[in-house]
């Protein structure tokens, strides 16, 4: 067998084992909408941890972080900076979101807006924005899968056919397993990724330089400015760092899939304890950055940094090892992709299509249509993945610029009675417009600041002003949280 054949066989073997776990777990439960989307709300600490971690470790961790460290240098530290802050933010809002979710039987993020602001058009708009910004994140996962197969086959299989195979696998996986199957495959994927990160992050600098410290010393001699901001970029300095870290820290749990993942928990306390320990889980991030920094000296001049990790592994280790790493990477793309598709399909059907166009649909019909949407959404992301060459980190930041705009509506909605439906609606439109205008006009970063962050600032201002100008309506959360509960 040739080296590429060995590597590819191992990759597909790993994917097959992962898919089997998903199908097996999924097949044991009858799949109605509640089971498919929130697994009957029965997950304890361990499974919620895995499901949330499943969404922390994506292809971005695997290929994007090292790619960013390779091609941008210092600014890649933002990835390390925002990780712990995500869980600080979640500590203060996710248990509360869970509580509302349990009380009203919420399944999606848009459900939350529906219950709090009592307006189906706002909920439908939230669903639409969620689906639109899930697409680039899904595109990121499919591109990652394509890169893995491309590098493992020594460029013998093109990225487009590789992504077509990935598309079929992911869609089949989602159909069969729902969220319960996905959570269990996370176990396998996270173990593999952790092992890969520990091994590659430590071993590769050791093999070439005799240790991590020696690698940094060599890098400092050759590229003294690579490791501090703005690194190799002209304009990603400290202002960009602060604005991007804030945007992503508040944005993480605004991703529809992460927001909905909290509904799978058994108790709010589970989520609070989760938030305390989760930053430790990000220990793979510095290791992945080490790989990227090492690649700067070993593989200079690569045009696409996202290929750095796998190319480095291919150059350093035997083919079977590349196969194992590639298999771990493939699962790391497939599992989050499945979660993303599941969330987008449910949002589209449950909060956009049914309330606006077909109010008489039954839950069974909703579940059926959701499965058709799985194919449609994946196909759209595949189309973009094939026709664009954006780096993984750019796709990630684009997605965050969109979903972070939900933050004012969620947080103010939880804690303030003064915020109104027109305020949140106008703020959301303003935030997305500002971000879109700056990004499409190539003005990102704008005076050193992240465009999505500026959108969020505009969003907050508009939400506040319009809320103050519009009449107060009773909050949808009030009946079950009577006045006496307010301190």
Partner 1 sequence: MLKRPSFGSLLLGLIPFVGTCFSVSLWDRIYPLVFGLPFNFFWLTSWLALTPLCMWGAYRLETRRDPESQPPNKGADAA
From 221-229, 299-307, 335-343, 399-407, span contacting partner 1 (CB under 8 A): 221-229
Tell me the closest approach of the beta carbon of residue 319 to partner 1, in angstroms: 32
Q: Which two tokens stand for residue 122?
A: 């706002």
Q: Is 414 in the site for partner 1 (CB under 8 A)?
A: yes
Residue from 172, 218, 227, 457 touching partner 1 (CB under 8 A): that is 227
Residue from 6, 32, 33, 91 touching partner 1 (CB under 8 A): that is 91
Q: Which two tokens stand for residue 392?
A: 């993984």
**Residue number with CB closer to partner 1 (8 or 249):** 249
**Residue number with CB closer to partner 1 (97 or 367):** 97
Residue from 24, 121, 383, 481 touching partner 1 (CB under 8 A): that is 481
Cβ contact 34:256 at 8 Å:
no
Residue from 13, 24, 105, 238 touching partner 1 (CB under 8 A): that is 238
Q: Is 158 in the site for partner 1 (CB under 8 A)?
A: no
- Tally the C-alpha atoms within 13 A of residue 9's C-alpha that lie toward its C-beta: 8
Question: Environment class of residue 222 by beta-carbon count within 10 Å: exposed (0-12), middle (13-18) or buried (19+)?
Answer: exposed
Tell me the closest approach of the beta carbon of residue 200 to partner 1, in angstroms: 17
Q: Is 283 in the site for partner 1 (CB under 8 A)?
A: yes
Q: Is 210 helix (H, G, I), strand (E, B) or coil?
A: coil
Residue from 22, 74, 201, 399 touching partner 1 (CB under 8 A): that is 74
- Total of chain residues touching partner 1, rule CB under 8 A: 67
Q: Is 448 in the site for partner 1 (CB under 8 A)?
A: no
Q: Is 417 in the site for partner 1 (CB under 8 A)?
A: yes
**Residue number with CB closer to partner 1 (48 or 328):** 48
Instruction: Please list, in sequence order, all residues whose beta carbon lies within 8 angstroms of the beta carbon of residue 128, skipping any fewer than 6 positions away.
Output: 352
C-alpha triplet 217, 222, 227: angle, nearest 5°: 65
**Residue number with CB closer to partner 1 (1 or 280):** 280
Q: Is 486 in the site for partner 1 (CB under 8 A)?
A: yes
Tell me the closest approach of the beta carbon of residue 426 to partner 1, in angstroms: 22
Q: Is 217 in the site for partner 1 (CB under 8 A)?
A: yes
Q: Is 423 in the site for partner 1 (CB under 8 A)?
A: no
What number of other Cβ atoms are within 10 A of residue 480's Cβ? Answer: 12
Tell me the closest approach of the beta carbon of residue 464 to partner 1, in angstroms: 17
Measured CA to CA, the distance from residue 7 to residue 264 in angstroms comes to 36
Residue from 213, 300, 318, 441 touching partner 1 (CB under 8 A): that is 213
Q: Which of 33, 17, 44 is nearest to 343 (CA)?
A: 33
Q: Is the peptide bond before 470 cis (omega within 30 degrees of 0)?
A: no
Residue from 194, 203, 286, 390 touching partner 1 (CB under 8 A): that is 286
Q: Is 10 in the site for partner 1 (CB under 8 A)?
A: no
Cβ contact 454:435 at 8 Å:
yes
Measured CA to CA, the distance from residue 423 to residue 472 in angstroms comes to 11
Q: Is 231 helix (H, G, I), strand (E, B) or coil?
A: coil
Helix pair angle (109-117, 421-440), 10° resolution: 140
Cβ contact 219:226 at 8 Å:
yes
Helix pair angle (212-222, 159-209), 10° resolution: 100
Q: Which of 157, 140, 132, 58 is nearest to 382 (CA)?
A: 140
Q: Is 99 in the site for partner 1 (CB under 8 A)?
A: yes
Cβ contact 336:55 at 8 Å:
yes
**Residue number with CB closer to partner 1 (239 or 356):** 239
Q: Is 396 in the site for partner 1 (CB under 8 A)?
A: no
Cβ contact 403:455 at 8 Å:
no
User: How many residues can be counted in the chain?
Assistant: 487
Q: Is 191 in the site for partner 1 (CB under 8 A)?
A: no
Residues that bind partner 1 (CB under 8 A): 43-48, 74, 77, 80-85, 87-88, 91-92, 95-96, 99-100, 211-214, 216-217, 220, 224, 227-229, 238, 241-242, 245-246, 249, 266-270, 272-273, 275-277, 279-280, 282-283, 285-286, 289, 414-417, 475, 477-478, 481, 485-487
């Amino acid at each position: 067998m040739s080296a590429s054949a060995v590597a590819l066989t191992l990759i597909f073997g790993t994917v097959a084992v992962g898919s089997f776990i998903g199908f097996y777990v999924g097949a044991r439960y009858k799949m109605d909408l509640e089971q498919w989307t929130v697994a009957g709300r029965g997950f304890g600490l361990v499974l919620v941890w895995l499901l949330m971690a499943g969404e922390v470790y994506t292809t971005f961790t695997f290929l994007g972080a090292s790619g960013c460290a390779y091609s941008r240098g210092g600014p890649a530290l933002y990835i390390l900076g925002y990780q712990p802050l995500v869980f600080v933010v979640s500590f203060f809002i996710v248990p509360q979101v869970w509580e509302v979710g349990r009380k009203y039987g919420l399944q999606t993020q848009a459900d939350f807006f529906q219950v709090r602001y009592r307006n189906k058009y706002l909920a439908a708009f939230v669903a639409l924005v969620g689906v639109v910004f899930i697409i680039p994140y899904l595109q990121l996962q499919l591109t990652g899968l394509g890169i893995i197969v491309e590098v493992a086959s020594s460029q013998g299989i093109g990225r487009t056919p590789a992504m077509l195979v990935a598309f079929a696998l992911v869609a089949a996986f989602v159909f069969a397993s729902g969220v319960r199957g996905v959570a269990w495959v996370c176990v396998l994927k996270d173990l593999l990724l952790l092992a890969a990160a520990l091994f590659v992050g430590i071993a590769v600098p050791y093999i070439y330089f005799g240790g991590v410290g020696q690698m940094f010393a060599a890098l400092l001699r050759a590229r003294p400015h690579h490791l501090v901001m703005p690194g190799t970029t002209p304009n990603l300095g400290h202002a960009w760092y602060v604005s991007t870290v804030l945007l992503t820290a508040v944005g993480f749990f605004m991703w529809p899939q992460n927001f909905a993942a909290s509904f799978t928990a058994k108790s709010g306390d589970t989520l609070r304890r989760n938030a305390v320990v989760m930053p430790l889980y990000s220990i793979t991030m510095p290791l992945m950055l080490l790989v990227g920094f090492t690649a700067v000296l070993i593989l200079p001049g690569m045009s696409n940094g996202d290929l750095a990790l796998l190319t480095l592994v291919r150059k350093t280790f035997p083919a079977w090892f590349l196969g194992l790493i590639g298999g771990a990477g493939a699962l790391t793309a497939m599992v989050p992709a499945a979660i993303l598709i599941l969330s987008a399909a449910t949002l589209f059907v449950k909060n956009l299509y049914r309330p606006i166009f077909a109010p008489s649909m039954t839950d069974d019909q909703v579940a059926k249509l959701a499965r058709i949407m799985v194919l449609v959404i994946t196909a759209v992301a595949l189309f973009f993945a094939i026709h664009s060459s954006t780096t993984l980190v750019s796709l990630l930041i684009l997605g965050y610029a969109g979903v972070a705009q939900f933050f004012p509506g969620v947080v103010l909605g939880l804690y303030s009675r003064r915020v109104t439906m027109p305020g949140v609606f106008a703020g959301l439109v303003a935030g997305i417009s500002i971000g879109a205008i700056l990004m499409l006009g190539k003005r990102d970063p704008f005076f050193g600041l992240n465009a999505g962050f500026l959108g969020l600032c505009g969003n907050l201002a508009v939400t506040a002003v319009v809320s103050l100008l519009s009449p107060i309506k009773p909050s949808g959360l009030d009946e079950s949280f009577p006045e006496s509960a307010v301190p």
